[in-house]
């Protein structure tokens, strides 16, 4: 799940993890940017670097969460390949780990994507996947193609060795039908522009661009199509306001004085609606499924999150297979 | 989870709408003009004195993504220039149309003059987009002799480092800021911060670079190359089991070629490190200097303000001079005297006149025969009402996308009424319009109340932070005039504050 800052990608990612856990399934929600957004959303303590159950979805599903820490992931990695043990801690003191994750090109992103892919592939003793789906709250749209594509670059830099192989395996998974990249946007110009650019970049690098999620869609008001025609009918509207008990309709009366500011708000709203219409057209021209999620007027809290998950289930999971394997 | 339009769901939200309800429905009391009640506890942020002050040399706009940071930086630049200062705006990643509005068509890392600025007051505006690779290359070229510079620039490790790994953008933004300031060519530099993962990376980047370069590991990495050893494998001889294991491991993991590239790179950069570190420290000190003013930019939303609060605390901890908080996209109403509650009640009143059954979002005709699902294309309001043609024609059609099933648009009503011959048709029309306006107003008032609560939570925690609120523009910003408008709104905090306390 990617999206421009402020579009609510963390929220949508969490809602999708909940929705996909529905019916006794198990999902993993992965955070990679160290912001602890998931913990805030679920109103829990900051997540440690371990997979931990954070929510139970409707229908007895389980959502686990993991905040991946690049340094720890590197130590895991070295441990996995070389059984470093306490030498790892010594390296940490020396700043070697810091060195590697800060400056070694892309290593950080490699570790993050690698860890997520490991969770996707992990199987239990019966050889069943441990997680039915892994949802990643990924970096923003502007960086997503680079982030997901980093393994390609690394596979090019590290021409042999386990990292090379690992990087290639990650790329294979990311480019396979098992991976879906959803782009969260708002009906505002800049996020839509970034979404369009992001889709182009993903496509150019051979990565999937699966769907667009328009978040925080303002509910349509009954009658909003006609708001502009109201501009010419001030006297009648003043009388209607008066009929509704809002004061006098004559000039200077309370109802009459409401007309101008309310019409102005109507005009602004109509302008907004027109803008949104253009942006919707731009998004649908991308040739991807476009889903819309309504605005949570009170901001997102836990109840709202479950509501979004329900909405996702309703309009998304039933409509196709593209959302089933993020 | 659409905003509920049902009256039952409203109660919670309107409770603190501070409307003096006169109770008497038909008195022409002046209370309808109760102003927008922006009683600010926080001190108003004075933008013009800040921009005009010749000792203000740098304004840094920071904040989380999507709150209008770049737009704010651009608007401040336009205003400062038109008030007489030679100003440069350094943007990191502007939206295309915003960039175009400032005449930035390419990313060439050099300030370009923005056309269309009123220079009567003696100022001018230049703008540039950061090209981080170019900035990095320039540092290398300045600090290394040509052979060494060539070796670095061609090093594959350098090439990936300079084109977008975590932190590079932040280093380079601060580096560019330092360069612009050192040139002393500008009265004022307005800088927009990168869209970081933490929004604080630009503060940490210079320090991290410094501590990184001071780190033991990098010294060890450099040691073998310094003594002319081959590709660093002599590190093994330093007797540090962990380290040798690590370099060995890295070699196996990454392939020997990569580590060799890194070591060559580190060796080549050796001569530059001192300069690098000095510059990073200087830039950090520059940010703390009295000529710098930080503006934290936010939108009146919970997450954005939480981030803003974190920022304010962090800036204080780092002794960075905070000028104040810019709250973008704040909503207002010229009819704030009419509460959401009363607006909804009045709308229902009109609708329950038997005309509109709101809950089903349908028009019910009491007298006219049921028209059935008429084709909305023909009867759009454009054909029957002389509204402003530009928008009516585009708004009249019933172009709901298949994805907006949540709400049922009312476009049909116009068609139905147009075909209904009875005399009440016009009244119904007006009632629908009036009810629509009232519901829109109710939404606006609820939004206002919500924004106010969010803002008040922030000001309660940070009462000392001066605050400037900028009213939302209906559309996005992509020309100089809109930037001027925003600049004007930023500067004009008195109007709001005074109408609020009268």
DSSP string of B79-147, one letter each residue: HHHHTT-EEEEEESS--HHHHHHTT--S--SS-EEPTT---TTS-EEEEEE--HHHHHHHHHHHHS-HH
CB contact under 8 A, B243 and A258: no
Q: How far apart are CA B307 and CA B297, in angstroms?
A: 10
Name the closest residue on chain B to residue A88, using Cα atoms.
Answer: B242
Q: Residues for chain B: how many in total?
A: 502
Residues 6+ apart with CB under 8 A from B69: B61, B62, B63, B192, B193, B297
CB contact under 8 A, B164 and A78: no
Q: How far apart are CA B258 and CA A159, in angstroms?
A: 8
Cβ neighbours of B220 in A, within 8 Å: 94
* Pairwise pLDDT comparison (B417 vs A312), residue with the higher score: A312
Q: What is the pLDDT of residue A108?
A: 75
Give the C-alpha distances (Å, rounded to integers) separating B126 from A233, B91, B375, B483.
Answer: 47, 11, 54, 15
- Report whether B36 contacts B499 (CB < 8 A): yes
Domain-embedded: residue A162: yes
By DSSP bridging, strand B86-91 and strand B362-363 are unpaired
Q: How far apart are CA A296 and CA A310, in angstroms?
A: 13
Cβ neighbours of A297 in B, within 8 Å: 3-4, 13, 446, 450
Cβ neighbours of A195 in B, within 8 Å: none
B370 touching chain A per CB within 8 A? no
What do you get for the CA distance between the two ends of chain B, in Å? 39
- Report whether A230 contacts A237 (CB < 8 A): yes
CB contact under 8 A, B440 and A262: yes
Long-range contacts of residues B321-324, Cβ cutoff 8 Å, at least 24 apart:
B321/B288, B321/B289, B321/B290, B321/B292, B321/B293, B321/B294, B322/B293, B322/B294, B322/B296, B322/B465, B323/B45, B323/B50, B323/B59, B323/B293, B323/B294, B323/B295, B323/B466, B324/B45, B324/B295, B324/B296, B324/B465, B324/B466, B324/B467, B324/B468
- Report whether B94 contacts B476 (CB < 8 A): no
Considering its fold, how many domains does chain A have in total?
A: 1
Residues 6+ apart with CB under 8 A from A22: A57, A58, A59, A61, A309, A313, A317
Q: What is the pLDDT of residue B120?
A: 95
Interface test with B, best of A147, A223, A248 (most B CBs within 10 A): A223
B404 touching chain A per CB within 8 A? yes
Cβ neighbours of A4 in B, within 8 Å: 65-66
Q: What is the pLDDT of residue A98?
A: 64
By DSSP bridging, strand B124-129 and strand B322-330 are unpaired
For residue A123, the distance in angstroms to the closest alpha carbon of chain B comes to: 25
Domain-embedded: residue A324: no
Ordered structural domains, chain B, with CATH: 47-227+272-330 (3.40.50.300)
Q: Residues for chain A: how many in total?
A: 326
Cα-to-chain-centroid distance, residue A165: 29
Name the closest residue on chain B to residue A11, using Cα atoms.
Answer: B303
Q: What is the pLDDT of residue B301?
A: 87
| Confidence band for A197, pLDDT divided at 50, 70 and 90 | very high
Cβ neighbours of A265 in B, within 8 Å: 333, 335, 437, 440-441, 444
Q: How far apart are CA A158 and CA A186, in angstroms?
A: 39
By DSSP bridging, strand A62-67 and strand A52-56 are antiparallel
CB contact under 8 A, A95 and B216: yes
For residue B54, the distance in angstroms to the closest alpha carbon of chain A comes to: 34
- Report whether B449 contacts B17 (CB < 8 A): yes
- Report whether A54 contacts A63 (CB < 8 A): yes
pLDDT tens string, chain B, 502 residues long: the values are 444 334 333 333 333 334 344 444 443 433 433 344 444 467 899 999 999 999 999 999 998 877 888 899 999 999 999 999 999 999 877 666 677 777 777 667 889 999 999 999 999 999 998 888 888 888 888 877 888 888 778 876 677 667 655 567 777 888 888 889 988 899 999 998 876 655 566 777 666 665 665 666 666 665 544 444 444 343 334 444 555 556 666 665 555 566 666 666 666 666 666 666 677 778 888 889 999 999 999 999 888 898 899 889 989 998 999 999 999 999 989 999 999 999 999 999 998 874 444 444 444 433 334 334 444 333 333 333 333 333 333 333 333 333 333 333 444 444 444 443 444 557 778 888 899 999 999 999 999 999 999 999 999 999 999 999 999 887 777 789 999 999 999 999 865 443 333 3
Residues 6+ apart with CB under 8 A from A144: A2, A138, A181, A183, A198, A201, A202
Residues 6+ apart with CB under 8 A from B94: B70, B74, B102, B104, B129, B192
Question: Residue A226: which of A278, A279, A276, A263 has the closest Cα?
Answer: A263
Q: What is the pLDDT of residues A7-55, one digit of tens each?
A: 999 999 999 999 999 989 999 999 998 778 899 889 888 888 889 999 9
- Report whether A316 contacts A291 (CB < 8 A): yes
- Report whether B337 contacts B17 (CB < 8 A): no
Question: Residue B195: which of B72, B92, B315 has the closest Cα?
Answer: B92
Q: Is B471 helix (H, G, I), strand (E, B) or coil?
A: strand
- Report whether B170 contacts B205 (CB < 8 A): yes
Q: What is the pLDDT of residue B22?
A: 41
Examine the predicted complex and report whether its ipTM is higher than 0.85.
no
Question: Residue A22: which of A65, A51, A64, A63 has the closest Cα?
Answer: A63
Q: How far apart are CA B477 and CA A29, in angstroms?
A: 36
Long-range contacts of residues A126-132, Cβ cutoff 8 Å, at least 24 apart:
A130/A26, A131/A26, A131/A27, A131/A28, A131/A64, A132/A20, A132/A21, A132/A25, A132/A26, A132/A27
Q: How far apart are CA B347 and CA B344, in angstroms?
A: 5
CB contact under 8 A, A258 and B254: no
Residues 6+ apart with CB under 8 A from B189: B57, B58, B59, B87, B88, B89, B90, B177, B180, B181
Order of strands across the sheet that contains B467-471: B112-113, B124-129, B86-91, B188-192, B58-62, B292-298, B322-330, B467-471
A178 is in which domain, residue-wise? 2-221+288-317
B359 touching chain A per CB within 8 A? no
Q: Cα torsion at B335, B341, B347, B349 (round to 10°)?
A: -130
Q: Which of residues 102-141 of B touch A (CB under 8 A)?
A: none
Q: What is the pLDDT of residue B266?
A: 67
Q: Is A27 helix (H, G, I), strand (E, B) or coil?
A: strand
B377 touching chain A per CB within 8 A? no
With residue B481 as reference, give the H or E element that holds it. helix B480-491
Domain-embedded: residue A134: yes
Domain-embedded: residue A245: no
Residue B407 has its nearest CB partner, among A194, A220, A230, at A220
With residue B244 as reference, give the H or E element that holds it. helix B241-254
B74 touching chain A per CB within 8 A? no
Name the closest residue on chain A to residue B447, using Cα atoms.
Answer: A297
Residue A228 has its nearest CB partner, among B29, B252, B387, at B387
Place of tokens 């110009």: A189
Q: How far apart are CA B189 and CA B60, in angstroms?
A: 8
- Report whether A111 contacts B165 (CB < 8 A): no
Locate B320 and state its tokens.
């960075």
For residue B382, the distance in angstroms to the closest alpha carbon of chain A comes to: 8
Q: How many CA atoms lie within 13 A of A223 on its CB side?
A: 28
Cβ neighbours of A94 in B, within 8 Å: 215-217, 220, 240, 242-243
Cβ neighbours of A82 in B, within 8 Å: 245, 249, 252
CB contact under 8 A, A262 and B441: yes
Cβ neighbours of B430 in A, within 8 Å: 233, 236-237, 239-240
CB contact under 8 A, B253 and A162: yes
For residue B148, the distance in angstroms to the closest alpha carbon of chain A comes to: 20
Look up residue B352 and give its DSSP letter: T
Cα-to-chain-centroid distance, residue A219: 20
Look up residue B355 and give its DSSP letter: T
For residue B300, the distance in angstroms to the closest alpha carbon of chain A comes to: 11
What do you get for the CA distance between the two ends of chain A, in Å? 8
* Pairwise pLDDT comparison (B347 vs A102), residue with the higher score: B347
CATH number for the domain that contains residue A57: 3.40.50.300
Domain-embedded: residue A34: yes
Domain-embedded: residue A241: no
Q: What is the pLDDT of residue B234?
A: 38
DSSP sequence for A308-323: HHHHHIIIIITT-STT
Locate B32 and state its tokens.
């309808």
Residue A160 has its nearest CB partner, among B240, B255, B410, at B255
Order of strands across the sheet that contains A52-56: A52-56, A62-67, A26-31, A133-137
Q: What is the pLDDT of residue A201?
A: 94
Locate B140 and state its tokens.
């290398």
Q: How far apart are CA B313 and CA B316, in angstroms?
A: 5
SS3 content of chain A, % helix, strand, coil (to 5): 55, 15, 35
B439 touching chain A per CB within 8 A? yes
Q: What is the pLDDT of residues A257-299, one digit of tens each?
A: 999 999 999 988 888 888 999 999 999 999 999 999 988 866 6
Q: How far apart are CA B123 and CA B114, in angstroms?
A: 12
B479 touching chain A per CB within 8 A? no
Question: Residue A306: which of A7, A14, A26, A28 has the closest Cα?
Answer: A14
Locate A134 and state its tokens.
């892994």
């Amino acid at each position: 799940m990617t999206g421009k800052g402020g579009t609510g990608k963390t929220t949508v990612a969490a809602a999708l993890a909940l929705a996909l856990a529905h019916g006794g399934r198990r999902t993993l929600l992965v955070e990679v940017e160290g912001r602890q957004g998931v913990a805030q959303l679920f109103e829990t303590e900051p997540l440690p670097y371990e997979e931990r159950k954070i929510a139970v979805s409707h229908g007895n599903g389980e959502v686990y969460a993991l905040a991946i820490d690049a340094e720890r992931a590197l130590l895991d990695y070295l441990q996995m390949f070389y059984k470093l043990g306490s030498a790892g801690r010594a390296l940490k003191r020396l700043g070697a780990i810091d060195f590697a994750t800060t400056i070694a090109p892309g290593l950080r992103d490699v570790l993050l994507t690698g860890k997520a892919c490991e969770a996707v592939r992990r199987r239990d003793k019966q050889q069943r996947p441990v997680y039915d789906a892994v949802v990643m709250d990924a970096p923003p749209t502007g960086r997503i193609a680079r982030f997901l594509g980093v393994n390609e670059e690394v596979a090019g830099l590290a021409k042999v060795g386990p990292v090379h192989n690992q990087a290639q395996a990650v790329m294979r998974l990311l480019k396979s039908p098992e991976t879906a990249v959803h782009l969260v946007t708002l009906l505002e110009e800049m996020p839509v522009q970034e979404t369009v650019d992001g889709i182009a970049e993903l496509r150019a690098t051979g990565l999937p661009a699966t769907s667009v999620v328009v978040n925080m869609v303002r509910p349509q008001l009954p009658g909003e199509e006609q708001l502009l025609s109201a501009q010419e009918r001030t006297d009648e509207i003043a009388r209607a306001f008066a009929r509704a008990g809002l004061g006098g309709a004559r000039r200077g009366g309370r109802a009459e004085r409401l007309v101008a500011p309310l019409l102005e708000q109507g005009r602004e709203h109509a302008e907004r609606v027109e803008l949104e219409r253009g942006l919707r057209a731009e998004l649908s021209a991308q040739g991807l499924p476009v889903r819309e999620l309504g605005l949570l007027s009170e901001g997102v809290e836990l109840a709202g999150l479950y509501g979004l998950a329900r909405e996702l289930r309703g309009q998304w999971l039933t409509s196709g297979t593209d959302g089933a394997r993020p | 989870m659409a905003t509920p339009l049902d009256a039952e769901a409203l109660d919670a939200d309107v409770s603190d709408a501070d409307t003096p309800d006169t109770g008497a429905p038909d008195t022409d009391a002046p209370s309808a003009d109760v102003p927008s009640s922006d009683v600010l506890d926080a001190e108003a942020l004075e933008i013009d004195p800040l921009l005009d002050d010749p000792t203000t040399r740098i304004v840094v706009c920071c904040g989380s993504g999507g709150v209008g940071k770049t737009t704010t930086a651009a608007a401040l630049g336009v205003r400062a220039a038109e008030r007489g200062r030679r100003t440069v705006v350094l943007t990191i990643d502007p939206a295309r149309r915003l960039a175009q509005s400032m005449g930035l068509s390419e990313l060439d890392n050099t300030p370009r003059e923005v056309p269309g600025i009123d220079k009567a007051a003696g100022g001018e505006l230049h703008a540039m987009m950061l090209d981080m690779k170019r900035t990095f290359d320039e540092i290398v070229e300045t600090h290394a002799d040509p052979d060494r510079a060539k070796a670095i620039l061609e090093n594959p490790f350098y090439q990936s480092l300079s084109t977008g790994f975590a932190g590079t953008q932040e280093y380079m933004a601060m580096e560019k800021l330092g360069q612009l300031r050192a040139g002393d060519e500008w009265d004022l530099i307005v800088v927009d911060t990168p869209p970081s993962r933490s929004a604080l990376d630009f503060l940490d980047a210079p320090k991290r670079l410094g501590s990184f370069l001071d780190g033991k590991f990098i010294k060890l990495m450099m040691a073998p190359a310094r003594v002319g050893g081959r590709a660093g494998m002599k590190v093994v001889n330093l007797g540090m089991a962990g380290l040798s294991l690590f370099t060995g491991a890295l070699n196996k993991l990454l392939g020997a070629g990569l580590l060799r590239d890194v070591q060559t790179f580190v060796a080549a950069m050796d001569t530059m490190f001192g300069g690098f570190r000095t510059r990073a420290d200087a830039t950090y000190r520059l940010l703390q200097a009295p000529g710098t003013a930080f503006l934290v930019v936010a939108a009146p939303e919970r997450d954005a303000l939480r981030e803003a609060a974190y920022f304010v605390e962090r800036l204080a901890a780092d002794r960075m001079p905070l000028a104040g908080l810019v709250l973008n996209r704040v909503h207002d109403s010229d009819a704030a005297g009419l509460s959401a509650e009363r607006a909804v009640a009045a709308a229902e009143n009109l609708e329950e006149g038997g005309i509109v059954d709101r809950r089903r979002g349908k028009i019910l005709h009491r007298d006219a025969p049921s028209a059935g699902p008429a084709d909305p294309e023909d009867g759009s309001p454009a054909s029957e009402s002389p509204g402003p043609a530009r928008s009516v024609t585009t708004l009249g059609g019933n172009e709901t996308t298949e994805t907006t099933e949540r709400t049922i648009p009312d476009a049909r009503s116009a068609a139905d009424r147009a075909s209904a011959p009875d005399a009440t048709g016009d009244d119904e029309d007006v009632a629908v319009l009036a009810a629509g306006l009232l519901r829109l107003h109710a939404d606006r008032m609820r939004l206002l109340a919500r924004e106010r609560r969010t803002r008040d939570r922030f000001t309660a925690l940070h009462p000392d932070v001066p605050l400037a609120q900028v009213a939302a523009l209906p559309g996005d910003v992509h020309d100089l005039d809109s930037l001027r408008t925003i600049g004007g709104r930023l500067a004009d905090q008195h109007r709001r504050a005074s109408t609020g306390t009268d």
